[in-house]
Amino acid sequence: MNVDGVPYRTIWLADDGETVEIIDQTKLPHAFDVAPLRTLEDAAQAIASMQVRGAPLIGGTAAYGMALAMKTNPSDDGIDHAYDTLYRTRPTAVNLRWALDEMRAALRNIAHDARRGAAYRKAAEICDDDVEISRGIGRHGLALIREIQKKRSPDEPVNVLTHCNAGWLATIDWGTATAPIYMAHDDGLPVHVWVDETRPRNQGASLTAFELGHHGVPHTVIADNVGGHLMQHGMVDLCIVGTDRTTAHGDVANKIGTYLKALAAHDNRVPFYVALPSTTIDWTIGDGVAEIPIEQRAGDEVSEIYGQTADGRLETVRIVPEGSPVANYAFDVTPARLVTGLITERGVCAASREGLASLFPEHAG
Ligand code: MRU
């Protein structure tokens, strides 16, 4: 997508063909910095510190992390060490494991001196595929927005509420939850997005708002607790969120607070859709609440807040009294019964074992 008229993906290779470059998302929206990743450790640190984040981009970065590792240690031990180092960075997004499994399978049975080149090619393929997957999600989600718009006067916008950032910054391009929104906007359909700020790290306020603003999509940032009120007053037509891990039964783990929005949507009969690439489905588990590992992050993400002062300085300030304990659960699980439908690259289905099996029969059984 475009930033100041320049098309960007979230991860790419530098001109030397080896260094990986990323947009440092910890600096957005106040600074647009590109950061180089030269080693396996750089890639692992970028994921853990959330310079890159969002399930598909975590997977893409892990894939390039394996490629960076193959530059210095293309042995079997090198593959295992890179796999373990990257796997430990974040626990909830299953795309991480998926991408590492893909890379290991592509590298294991080839000669050591061919591994470096093969790893870069496979990482590029994973990223290119993700762009096409997001495009597919966009096309299927666009049909849902179009259906709602058809019942409106031509200028009346469809109001979409989204949580966290499941936009192009969370993927390689387009995004998952935002892909239908961008396509609707590009097709001339009037859309307006309610952007949950998404405490504690504010991915909505800082990243989703940044993206939508640069693409010219009308949006309004709201505090996390506002969505229920808007739904009670008919101001939300549908919710579209992303997911970090979807179970074979259709439960979804997404950024903390998603579950509360799903409850409010259910109570107010607002359709609640989850947009996901199939790489986010964990076919090995059924009960998301019991089985999906929920990341707990450092307390300072809750007790402190980062932003720009009136005179342009970037500062972190404390907002919790010294000595008050804090807890920082990064994700929650929304049970399938609260999800109206799953928007995938192959179409929209019910959030259920049968629904997913109808689109992905190769995993049924
Ligand atoms: O902690 P984050 O910022 O990595 O969490 C991201 C989300 O929760 C996204 O909604 C999810 O990864 C889907 S991204 C298309």
d(CA 64, CA 126): 9
* In a domain? residue 134: no
Say yes or no to pLDDT of 354 above 80. Answer: yes
What percentage of the chain reaches a pLDDT higher than 70? 100
For residue 75, tell me if it sits in a domain: yes
Residue 237 Cα to ligand 1 midpoint, Å, equals 22
Position 5 scores a pLDDT of 86
DSSP 8-class letter at 178: T
Residue 119 falls inside a structural domain = yes
One of 130, 244, 251, 282 is an active-site residue; which one? 244
- Give the pLDDT mean for 283-312: 96
Q: Report the predicted TM-score, pTM, of the whole model to 2 decimal places.
A: 0.97
Evaluate whether residue 301 is within a structural domain.
yes
The pLDDT tens digits of the residues spanning 125-141 come to: 999 999 999 999 999 99
CA dihedral sign, ordered 135, 136, 140, 143: positive
Identify whether residues 154 and 76 lie together within a single domain. Answer: no
- CATH number of the CATH domain containing 22: 1.20.120.420
- Dist. CA 255 → ligand 1 center (Å): 6
244 is catalytic: yes
Mean pLDDT in residue range 19-25 = 98
Q: Domain holding 316: CATH number?
A: 3.40.50.10470
Across 296-319, average pLDDT:
96
Query: Region 22-27: what's the mean pLDDT?
Result: 97
| Number of folded domains that form the chain | 2
Q: Is the pLDDT of residue 1 over 90?
A: no
pLDDT value at residue 2: 85
Confidence of residue 24 (pLDDT cuts 50, 70, 90): very high
pLDDT in tens, 231-280: 999 999 999 999 999 999 999 999 999 999 999 999 999 999 999 999 99
> Does residue 324 sit within a domain?
yes
- Does a structural domain hold residue 120? yes
201 and 221 fall within a common domain: yes
For residues 182 and 103, membership in a common domain is answered with no
Regarding whether 347 and 269 lie in a shared domain, the answer is yes
Q: What whole-number distance in Å separates Cα of residue 10 and Cα of residue 233?
A: 37
Average pLDDT along the chain: 97
Residue 329 within a domain: yes
- The CA–CA distances, whole Å, from 164 to 92, 179, 199, 365 equal 15, 14, 9, 33
Question: Which one of 128, 157, 182 terminates a domain?
Answer: 128
User: Do residue 342 and residue 233 come from a single domain?
Assistant: yes
Would 133 be classed as within a structural domain?
A: no
| pLDDT at residue 65 in the model | 98
Q: Which of 88, 105, 128 is the last residue of a domain?
A: 128
- What number does the ligand 1 atom closest to the CA of 254 have? 8
Residue 66's nearest CA partner among 133, 20, 2 is 20
pLDDT at 282 over 80: yes
Instruction: Say whether both 264 and 185 belong to one domain.
Output: yes
Atom of ligand 1 nearest to the CA of 207: 3
Quick one: average pLDDT of 309-327? 96
The answer for residues whose C-beta is within 8 angstroms of residue 57's C-beta and 6 or more apart is 10, 11, 169, 170, 171, 172
What's the domain range around 73? Answer: 2-128
Tell me: do 44 and 94 sit in the same domain.
Answer: yes
* 34-63 average pLDDT score: 98
Examine the domain organization and report whether 55 and 171 are in the same domain.
no
Out of 105, 128, 151, a domain closes at: 128
Task: Mark whether 355 and 245 lie in a shared domain.
Answer: yes
Q: Tell me: do 98 and 143 sit in the same domain.
A: no
- Residue 329 pLDDT exceeds 90: yes
Judge whether residue 365 has pLDDT over 80. no
Torsion sign across C-alpha atoms 71, 74, 79, 81: negative
Kindly give the pairing relationship between strand 331-334 and strand 2-3: unpaired
Helix (H, G, I), strand (E, B) or coil at 216: coil
Q: How far apart are the CA of 56 and the centre of ligand 1, in A?
A: 8
* Whether residue 354 sits in one domain with residue 262: yes
Instruction: Tell me, yes or no, whether 215 and 335 share the same domain.
Output: yes
